[in-house]
Amino acid sequence: MLVTGDNSLQLFLGWEGVGLASYLLIHFWFTRLQADKAATKAMPVNRVGDFGLAPGISGRFTLFQTVDFSTIFARASAPRNSWISCNMRLNAITLICILLLIGAVGKSAQIGSHTWSPDAMEGPTPVSALIHAATMVTAGVFMIARCSPLFEYPPTALIVITSAGATTSFLAATTGILQNDLKRVIAYSTCSQLGYMIFACGISNYSVSVFHLMNHAFFKALLFLSAGSVIHAMSDEQDMRKMGGLASSFPFTYAMMLMGSLSLIGFPFLTGFYSKDVILELAYTKYTISGNLAFWLGIPTNSFGRDILRCHDAPIPMAIPLILLALGSLFVGYLAKV
């Protein structure tokens, strides 16, 4: 419903459904105190984002007299000079876009509302892979891309989007380097990559942002499931300081984790390379300052592969999804680019 809905109400219902399902999945081990706290934290933080999304949808209906996306986009140029006076004079479309951005920031764990994302690692590892690779956290990026014709009118909104994405990308990557928990490192790398996608939207490269979203789903799910294999072998131990020297004994899972890590850092000719390279290329072409910023934002990501490349060989039921995701991490970016 979130992806296929052709109006704002369907998108909002799908949006809330994703949030509710994520809450229940994080709360899977409901007898664990930390899992209970993480789920209880994720729900109100996402509701804060909804306080922006819901008024943004209401504002679009008030301004355009419809919730249908195609009609809104067709009429978007007409009220671009409409103003709202409420102690201060605000451009109507700019205000609506900022409210929609607040919703995306809450859902996609951007700066200011990112704290729920690492805590959500208390859930099972497949749940972490689902939430942080392909579903919940990417909903905000998808929503911005879905409403891209509206975001193109107010330049102020694009500046705010670019700033939010750039700040999140740098701070999340830097914070991830300092973590000792294996899954929290990958969670912070997810926040960083989402910031990269938001940044791409801010420089009007929405299709490239969705391209990176798709590529990211493959190599991040691979990393999470490989991490789950490590945790399973270490009797549920997630502290990386207690791991090491396992690569020579378990070459298969080591290779899977290595492949996911290299794709994450944008190693040439792997999936992550193609989308990241396009973002950098277009950023340099369009905005020199943004291009330099995007390049340096990717530097801390290189450190994510440092300590997490210590895994163990997975049994066949675990190995099959790892192989499929590894193939995606190798070829999807190239095939999609072609």
Report pLDDT for 298. 55
In a domain, 3, yes or no: no
Best-predicted range by mean pLDDT (106-115, 157-166, 326-335): 157-166
Report pLDDT for 111. 81
Residue 101 to residue 230: CA distance in whole angstroms? 37
pLDDT digits over 128-174, tens only?
777 777 777 888 888 888 888 888 888 888 888 888 888 888 888 88
Report pLDDT for 174. 87
Q: How many domains does the chain have?
A: 1
High-pLDDT (> 90) share of the chain, %: 0
Question: What confidence category does residue 309 fall into, taking pLDDT thresholds of 50, 70 and 90?
Answer: very low
In a domain, 108, yes or no: yes
Three-state helix/strand/coil letters over 23-91: HHHHCCCCCCHHHHHHHHHHHHHHHHHHHHHHHHHHHHHHHHCCCEHHHHHHHCCCCCCCEEECCCEEE
High-pLDDT (> 70) share of the chain, %: 83
Whole-prediction pTM value? 0.83
Best-predicted range by mean pLDDT (27-31, 74-78, 298-302, 330-334): 27-31
Report pLDDT for 97. 86
Report pLDDT for 86. 53
pLDDT digits over 269-299, tens only?
888 888 888 887 777 776 655 555 555 555 5
pLDDT digits over 2-18, tens only?
888 888 888 888 888 88
Report pLDDT for 326. 79
pLDDT of 308 strictly over 50: no
According to DSSP, the residues that pair with 85 across neighbouring strands are 89
Report pLDDT for 306. 43
In a domain, 278, yes or no: yes
pLDDT digits over 173-227, tens only?
888 888 888 888 888 888 888 888 898 888 888 888 888 888 888 888 888 888 8
Report pLDDT for 223. 86
Instruction: Tell me the average pLDDT across 254-265.
Output: 85
Report pLDDT for 331. 73
Long-range CB pairs of 84-88, under 8 A, 24+ apart, other chains included: none
Report pLDDT for 290. 53
Higher local confidence (pLDDT), 275 or 81: 275
Q: Are 42 and 120 in contact (CB under 8 A)?
A: yes
Which residues are within 8 A (CB) of 211 and not within 5 positions of it... i.e. 6 or more apart?
A: 274, 275, 278, 336, 337
Higher local confidence (pLDDT), 311 or 318: 318
CA within 13 Å, CB half, 47: 8
In a domain, 79, yes or no: yes
Mean pLDDT of the chain: 79
Report pLDDT for 43. 82
Report pLDDT for 297. 58
Q: Are 164 and 198 in contact (CB under 8 A)?
A: yes
Nearest to 202 by CA among 151, 243, 239: 151
Question: What confidence category does residue 313 fall into, taking pLDDT thresholds of 50, 70 and 90?
Answer: low
In a domain, 2, yes or no: no
Parent domain of 29: 8-337
